[in-house]
Amino acid sequence: MAYLFTSESVSEGHPDKIADQISDALIDNFLAFDAESKVACETLVTTGQVILAGEVKSKTYLDVQQIARDVIKKIGYTKSEYMFEANSCGVLSAIHEQSQDINQGVDRASKEEQGAGDQGMMFGYATNETENYMPLALDLSHALLRELAVLRRENSEINYLRPDAKSQVTLEYSDDNKPQRIDAIVISTQHDDFAPEAEMLAKIKSDLVAILIPRIKAKYPQYAHLFNDDITYHINPTGKFVIGGPHGDTGLTGRKIIVDTYGGKGAHGGGAFSGKDPSKVDRSAAYATRHIAKNLVAAGLADEVLVQVSYAIGVAKPTSINVVTYGTSKVNLTDGEISKKVEAIFDMRPYFIEQRLKLRNPIYSETAAYGHMGRTPETVTKTFRTPNGEEKTVTVELFTWEKLDFVDQVKSAFGI
């Protein structure tokens, strides 16, 4: 019997995502001037206020207030009527030095023996149901909000949008787990107060169905066949959405970890990513397991793969590595046997993850909205400045964990 599956996404202007983006901007600035920085930075945003807290071990000094304001401005909170505005909001910093008790478990005389920054388990997932090996419902949810943000910035066809938004896509799957059609789409978007409520809601729904959806179908033609005349649209189903952003809901770093990963598919170890330097395996090992899963599926090992890794704090070697193929394996091996081969191909000690994926670079701001996984690897040049006038321009690779650079090794190891 056919079944339904749902995933959601949130926009860059969602309060939790504002917090994530500020935390990751701080990470990037620290790493740009001191690649060995150890950072765990949390952000809280609320009406007219940003609070920064966390632990840092770094040789550089930053104007964290200005970094936060720059992020808020870039997102689009630039009007006083939002009750949260880049230039006027208060920014309080309670960042202090990292505990030496924690640091001694990470730093080692030999870099290769760098210990894990914490205990825990991390998961990576990949499926061949999309070109980027991501779950389809999440991919569509992200696409809706990315395009909605483009429309907001264009300010032409739709000129009343504000930065805060959420989306949700429900897909119908066949008995053999193939997506057949979109059953429902939910979009809640913040907007100006431009007319009586009933009139506003009717226009917003009409505009999103008539303008946003065709743009999605045109930009993502591989998904166009999933759209149909029977889709149920819930557009701002609670009513008007004028009060939003941090004024409508407090935001915190790390509260959208399912949006950041696989939309409820696969599994999640519970650790957030944003605000953490790569010595924190919550982040680096989650990227590494995604890298493994994606290369395994791309190599044709299986249609769907989940990779788990776990660590003890201060210990380099993982306590476990496990691969699950959900019965879709194309090789005559058990999942346990596949796991052993994978362990031999990919060195999952924290230092080697950092080196393999080039994680000690300022590459994290771009991850903090619209998902850390399923993104397109690219090389960009970025410039950073300190309060004392020091400037640094760096060229970095983004989303290295999405590269299919181990496919040949996987095929060779498994005889594919």
Which residues fall in the annotated binding site for Mg(2+)?
A: 16
| Alpha-carbon span 98 to 106, nearest angstrom | 12
Rounded CA separation 83/371 (Å): 27
Nearest to 324 by CA among 307, 341, 337: 307
Beta pairing partners, 394: 382
Separation CA 145–CA 159 (nearest Å): 16
Provide the β-strand partners of residue 302: 329
Burial (Cβ within 10 Å: 0-12, 13-18, ≥19) of residue 24: buried
Residue type, position 227, single letter? F
For residues 386 and 34, the answer to whether their CB atoms sit within 8 Å is no
3-state secondary structure of 2: coil
Are the C-beta atoms of residues 38 and 56 closer than 8 Å to each other?
yes
Give the single-character DSSP code of 303.
Answer: S
* DSSP conformation letters of 35-98: TT-EEEEEEEEETTEEEEEEEEE-S----HHHHHHHHHHHHT---GGGT--TTTSEEEEEEEEP
Binding site feature residues for L-methionine:
55, 98, 249, 280
Q: How many separate helices (H) and strands (E) can be counted in the chain?
A: 12, 13
Most distant pair of Cα atoms in the chain: their distance? 67
CA dihedral 42, 309, 314, 39 (to 10 degrees): -20
Dihedral of the alpha carbons of 285, 286, 291, 295, in degrees to the nearest 10: 110
The whole-angstrom separation of Cα 27 and Cα 41 is: 8
Report the binding-site residues for K(+).
Answer: 42
In the annotated binding site, the residues are 14, 16, 42, 55, 98, 164-166, 240-241, 249, 255-256, 272, 276, 280
Q: Is 264 left (phi over 0), alpha (psi -120 to 50) or beta?
A: left
Known binding-site positions for ATP: 14, 164-166, 240-241, 249, 255-256, 272, 276
Written as one letter, the residue type at 345 is: I
